Amino acid sequence: MRVSFLIFSLLGSPLVISSHADQRPNLVLILADDMGYSDLGSYGGEIKTPNLDFLARNGIRYTQAYNTSKCWTTRISLLTGLYHHRSDRNFINTALVGEILKPAGYHTFWAGKHHANFNPHERGFDHFSGFLGGAINFWNPGEQARFGENAPGWRAVYTWAFDEELVKPYHPPKGFYATDAFTDWSLKWLEEKKGNDSPFFLFLSYNAPHWPLHAHPKDIAKYDGFYDLGYEAIRKARYRRQIKDGLFDERTTPLSEPDHQEWSALPEKEQNAEAQRMQIHAAMVDCMDQNIGRLIAKLREIGKMDNTLILFLADNGASHEKPSRGERNASAEWGSVGSFEAIGQSWANAINSPMRKWKVQGLEGGVCTPMIAYWPEGIALPQNSISREPCHLIDFVPTVIELAGKGAVYPENLPPLDGISLTPTFAGQKLVRQRPLFFQYGGWQAIREGAWKLVRQKTGPWQLYDLSKDRTETQNLAFTFPERTAKMQQKWENWAMDLEIPVSELKKKSKEKL
């Protein structure tokens, strides 16, 4: 017989947690990289994602979860509970989630991408295996061709860390594929922990489906012909599924205007190339889902599935980028080690359905992420629930601090956490946030206060949207509500001033190298 007990969230709401020897939940955080808002089947996509769809149908899908619109800034906020402006690329002036959970008795693991220069093994993680950079060749992240292979088409040579061991360049053997390897390392740690009742935290930070477009041939073949009808056909089909599935209401979430090339105007050769790009992107998402299926199987095998909170999300909207860097081997088969391609702006617009724009932008297509929460013994909601509560990356650390109990203490000498606990949403309750949500990256500035969102690019005019009636930002109300616009602008500027982000220097502060 399962015995349960109650804890009270930071807002006083009860939450049921199961009784294992330790009784606290295990925590698994899975992050996709540059994935489209509607890529998953459970978010309207045609890509085969049965494992993530299983988590969604038996957990909670969030429709208004926010990121920072960029890879490295998202990781700072997600892992520290702070707006990224309080720190820098090396997470100074913060406590990482591993540093908070490890003293509380959690085993802490991290596999995959780390978009910074320090080794997470030195910042609270029992194990870290991954790379300290932004984008890699999925087949060969080294700088030299392996015997019998083409030279890597994308040669960003970063330092890799395997616990305390630093390796640069890293030359894995043939057969290496990053998405599979990150999962292999995670499963190894979980296997080693079998029989140990103390809880664990696993951060599985995939680099997929970030460019370059690299995927297993068998996965690419699954999507032959899927994308031959082009951008708008895919975007509209996804939108119809989103409406049918109850994710959105077409009265309050109209499909945004297309922001892509006209498919019929493209020469046939270019249409074929564009369809192939999306085919490989789909294969990368598919492979990630297969690996999440392996993780689910391992959790079941070691008896940890029911009392594990699994959170899945993406770090920003789909990427519009088509980088000119890298070596392009014209003879290399697309998707293979020697190739270097990306989906580009038109597909990014399509796969962010129904939102406007894409990565780096302050509009919803840049800052909104699909997010799934699964926890059989801790979510007191019917299966297939949808949460429309606005939440943010900064809310993750407050959530895990609450769930980890007394031993998880946030240092008093650091900036106060900017986020709040998400646990009320596990019981279908509203989040009560004392402050608006703020955004700034790459010249884009935004503030979300209740249902209202104010946003602009650089020093352009502010745009105001009522997201309760216009989720996809199609009707600018700034001139209709000038007082609200002015008040929200002042709140954003006060926040920026507090964090020392002068408006005049926003463009300068956004400059960076990958």
d(CA 35, CA 282): 10
Distance CA 209, CA 152 (A): 18
What pLDDT digit, counting tens, does each position of 388-398 carry?
999 999 999 99
13 closest CA partner among 357, 366, 399: 399
Outline where 13-147 has alpha helix (H).
50-57, 71-80, 97-101
pTM of the model: 0.94
Distance between CA atoms of 473 and 489, rounded to whole angstroms? 17
Residue 30, pLDDT > 90, answer yes
> Sign of torsion, CA 238 235 319 73?
negative
CB-based contact 417:394 (threshold 8 Å): yes
Which are the contacts of 497, defined by CB distance < 8 A and separation ≥ 6? none
Question: Do residues 316 and 71 touch, judged by C-beta distance below 8 A?
Answer: yes
Mean pLDDT, range 31-48, rounded to an integer: 98
Give residues with Cβ within 8 angstroms of 202, minimum separation 6: 26, 27, 28, 29, 109, 110, 111, 186, 189, 190
C-beta of residue 158 within 8 angstroms of C-beta of residue 136: yes
Is it the case that residue 473 has pLDDT exceeding 50?
yes
**Beta partners for residue 165, in sequence order:** 162
The predicted-structure confidence for 43-71, as pLDDT tens digits, reads as follows 999 999 999 999 999 999 999 999 999 99
Inter-CA distances, 118 with 96, 159, 319, Å = 12, 10, 26
CA distance 32 to 359: 13
What percent of the chain lies above the pLDDT cut of 90? Answer: 87
In 3-state terms the chain splits into helix, strand, coil percentages (rounded to 5) of: 30, 20, 50
What confidence category does residue 10 fall into, taking pLDDT thresholds of 50, 70 and 90? very low
Token output for 358: 């894409």
The whole-angstrom separation of Cα 479 and Cα 427 is 39
Spatial separation of the C-alpha atoms in residues 254 and 471, rounded to whole Å: 8
How confident is the model over 26-55, as a mean pLDDT? 98
Q: Name the helix (H) or strand (E) containing 386.
A: strand 385-387
Under a CB-based contact definition with an 8 Å cutoff, are residues 440 and 501 in contact?
yes
The answer, yes or no, to whether residue 7 has pLDDT greater than 50, is no
Q: Report CA-CA distances (Å) from 25 to 21, 379, 400.
A: 11, 12, 9
Kind and range of the H or E element at 297?
helix 268-301
Residue range 155-170, pLDDT digits in tens? 789 999 999 999 999 9
pLDDT of residue 508: 44
Q: Three-class SS of residue 28? A: strand
Cβ atoms within 10 Å, residue 248 = 22
Q: For residue 263, what are its two tokens?
A: 């498919």
Tokens representing 77 are 């906020």
pLDDT for 17 beyond 50: no
Q: Over 90: is that where the pLDDT of 357 sits?
A: yes
**What token pair was written down for 389?**
């509560």
Confidence at residue 326, expressed as pLDDT on a 0 to 100 scale? 59
d(CA 123, CA 499): 24
Residue 270 phi, psi dihedral angles, 5° rounding: -70, -35
Domain 4-433 matches domain 435-514 at the CATH topology level: no
| DSSP, residue by residue, 27-49 | EEEEEESS--TT-SGGGT--S--
Structural domain spans, the chain: 4-433, 435-514
The residue type at 457: Q
pLDDT at 307 over 80: yes
Count the helices and strands in the chain (H runs, E runs): 12, 17
CB contact at 8 A, 6 and 15: yes
pLDDT one-digit tens code per residue, 261-300 = 999 999 999 999 999 999 999 999 999 999 999 999 999 9
Give yes or no for residue 327 having a pLDDT over 90.
no
* Residue-wise pLDDT tens digits, 478-507: 999 999 999 999 999 999 999 987 655 444
Tokens of 488: 């929200």
Quick one: which H or E segment has residue 277? helix 268-301
Give the lowest-confidence range in 222-226, 328-332, 377-381, 494-498: 328-332
The total of other beta-carbon atoms located within 10 Å of residue 260's CB is 17
Mean pLDDT across the chain: 92
- Tally Cβ neighbours within 10 Å of residue 269: 8
C-alpha closest to that of 310 among 202, 411, 223: 202
* Range 435-514 has CATH code 3.40.50.300: no
User: What would the mean pLDDT of 346-368 be, rounded to a whole number?
Assistant: 97
Q: What tokens does 283 get?
A: 């294969």
Contacts of 291 (CB under 8 A, 6+ apart): 179, 180, 182, 183, 206
pLDDT of residue 19 exceeding 80: no
pLDDT confidence band for 1 (50 / 70 / 90): very low
CATH number for region 4-433: 3.40.720.10
User: What distance in Å separates the CA atoms of residue 179 and residue 206, rounded to the nearest whole number?
Assistant: 6
Integer Cα distance of 93 and 99 in angstroms: 13
Res 329: pLDDT: 80
Out of 249-253, 272-276, 379-383, least confident range: 379-383
Place of tokens 């920026």: 496
Average pLDDT over residues 179-186: 98
Higher pLDDT, 379 or 514: 379
Backbone angles phi, psi at 289, to 5 degrees: -65, -40
Q: What is the pLDDT of residues 104-116, one digit of tens each?
A: 999 999 999 999 9
List the one residue out of 309, 286, 397 whose CA is nearest residue 59. Answer: 309
The pair phi, psi for residue 176, each rounded to 5°, is: -65, 135
pLDDT band at 20 (very low <50, low <70, confident <90, very high): very low
Candidates 5, 10, 4; CA nearest to 402 is: 10
List, for residues 89-99, the tens digit of each pLDDT value.
899 999 999 99
pLDDT of residue 161: 98
